[in-house]
Amino acid sequence: MILSAEPRRAENKTTLFSMCRWLTVGCAAIVFLAVGCSKQVETGSTSTDPRTAYETIDPSRIGWEQVAQYPIKELDSLQRIAVGPDDRIYVLGIKNRKGTVAVIDRLGKTKTLREIPSTQDDAIDLAIDDVGKIFLLRQKRIDVLSETGSEKQTEWARLPKMGFPTSIIYGGDRVLVADAGNRVIRVFDREAAPLKEFPAKAEKLFVVPSPFFDIAVGRDGLLRIANPGRHRIEHFTTEGFFHETPLTWGRQGNDLEGFCGCCNPARIAVLSDGAVVTSEKKIRRIKVVELDGSLRSAVAGPKHLGVAGPKNRDHTQKGPIVFDIAVDSTDRILVLDPVQKAVRVFGEKKKTSK
């Protein structure tokens, strides 16, 4: 008996289709399981974070609200923020593994970002003088860039080899650099001549357990220095003289009044009335502290900044998540959000009369 080839071919075809169908279902199931497992690991569902208890801020203590947000898609990662003339916002970040400065217009509507892709990946911080000249702090030196970035980047001053510079500011016709390695502040005049270095090493005034040592100068001309290991803000003149009034203040504490962890605040800025804006790492929160050290209000907590919960743990190799801050001429607080890659703008809530 001779069997026809047609039914057998049809049968084979059906079997093949069936196999393909089951194979597709199987693959989908594996992908589904894998995604599920990875999500579980990401959220760290089996781990509790000791910070969780401190991540909620009483809404009545929040005196600021977000009024704008400028996304910065042009940079791969964001590091530092500074405000220049006409309230232009300067952001230092990394693009294609090179330090890059982006400039945002005051209104933020035009989003005219201008990149100055000439710095190296050792760019640490930036400061802007009153004519828009950009001072770029690097590991071993300070470079200057013109406002437009069109001119060639040039070396402005050399820094000691053994230092670990963390912050640069311009104020009172001086350029000041915080050196976490030597725990000193270096003062330069506008011609790049080193004027002073304070305090003397023997004083051991500053305690810097991690590379977060920030400085800010207010409109009163006083220099504020974050002394992170002592959880304090110290006040100095830009000539390096210790200023006892306003008081040096700050204490350790996970509560809203204190500075959390081993070393905070990580970043500071100054409002026009002399109040200090502080940004903490670990419990990522931003708050405003009066001249006398009393808490005025919170600006944003981990939940507002979108970094609450164990899934937002710090990357151990890249370092902790830190929100850099700056203040513009109208006392709006600018928060550099490295997670969402944006500048968040906070304005003070208007007090409603009862």
By CB under 8 A, name the one of 44, 274, 293, 338 that touches another protein.
44
Determine if 56 is a binding residue for another protein (CB under 8 A).
no
Number of shown-chain residues binding another protein (CB under 8 A) = 34
Give whichever of 281 and 304 is closer to another protein, judged by the CB atom: 281
We find the least distance from the C-beta atom of residue 287 to another protein, in angstroms, to be 17
Among 109, 152, 161, 204, binds another protein (CB under 8 A): 204
- With CB under 8 A as the contact rule, which of the stretches 98-106, 205-213, 270-278, 296-304 interacts with another protein? 205-213
Q: ∠ at Cα 322 (319, 326), nearest 5°?
A: 145
Task: Assess 318 for contact with another protein (CB under 8 A).
Answer: yes
Spatial separation of the C-alpha atoms in residues 320 and 315, rounded to whole Å: 6
336 contacts another protein (rule: CB under 8 A): no
Is residue 202 near another protein by the rule CB under 8 A?
no
3-state SS, 66-121, equals EEEEEECCCCCEEEEEEECHHHCEEEEEEECCEEEEEEECCCCCCCCCCCCCCCCC
Any idea what the Cα angle at residue 128 is, between residues 164 and 325, rounded to 5°? 70
Q: Does 282 bind another protein (CB under 8 A)?
A: yes
Q: Is 285 in the site for another protein (CB under 8 A)?
A: no
Q: Which amino acid makes up residue 100?
A: T
Please, which residue, 207 or 295, has the CB nearer to another protein? 207
End-to-end CA distance of the chain: 102
**Nearer to another protein by C-beta: 130 or 203?**
203
Residue 283 sits in the site that holds another protein (CB under 8 A): yes
Q: Does 262 bind another protein (CB under 8 A)?
A: yes
Q: How many angstroms separate the CA atoms of 324 and 341, rounded? A: 12
**303 near another protein (CB under 8 A):** no
Q: Tell me which residue of 88, 188, 75, 78 sits closest to 132, measured CA to CA.
A: 88
Q: What's the burial of 112, exposed, middle or buried (CB within 10 Å: 0-12/13-18/19+)? A: exposed
Contact status: 49 vs another protein (CB under 8 A): yes
Site string for another protein, 65-104 (x = CB under 8 A): ----------------------------------------
For 286, the enclosing helix (H) or strand (E) is strand 286-289
Long-range (24+ apart) CB contacts under 8 A made by 252-261 are: 254/53, 254/54, 254/283, 255/54, 256/57, 256/58, 256/61, 256/285, 256/287, 256/295, 256/298, 257/295, 258/231, 259/228, 259/231, 260/54
Q: Closest approach of Cβ 193 to another protein, in Å? A: 31
Interface pattern 4-43 for another protein (x via CB under 8 A): ------------------------------------xx--
Rule CB under 8 A: say whether 263 interacts with another protein.
Answer: yes
Q: Considering the rule CB under 8 A, would residue 146 count as an interface residue with another protein?
A: no
User: What are phi and psi for residue 347, nearest 5 degrees?
Assistant: -115, 150
Among 85, 160, 211, 306, indicate the residue that binds another protein (CB under 8 A).
211
Distance CA 132, CA 147 (A): 5
Q: How far is CA 136 from CA 84, 142, 171, in A?
A: 13, 6, 15
Smallest separation, CB 172 to another protein (Å): 30
Binder to another protein among 171, 261, 265, 302 (CB under 8 A)? 261
The span of 110-118, 182-190, 204-212, 326-334 binding another protein (CB under 8 A) equals 204-212
Is the backbone of residue 107 left (phi > 0), alpha (psi -120 to 50) or beta? Answer: alpha
Binding region for another protein (CB under 8 A)? 40-41, 44-47, 49-51, 53-54, 204, 207, 209-211, 229-230, 252-254, 260-263, 282-283, 310, 313-314, 316-319
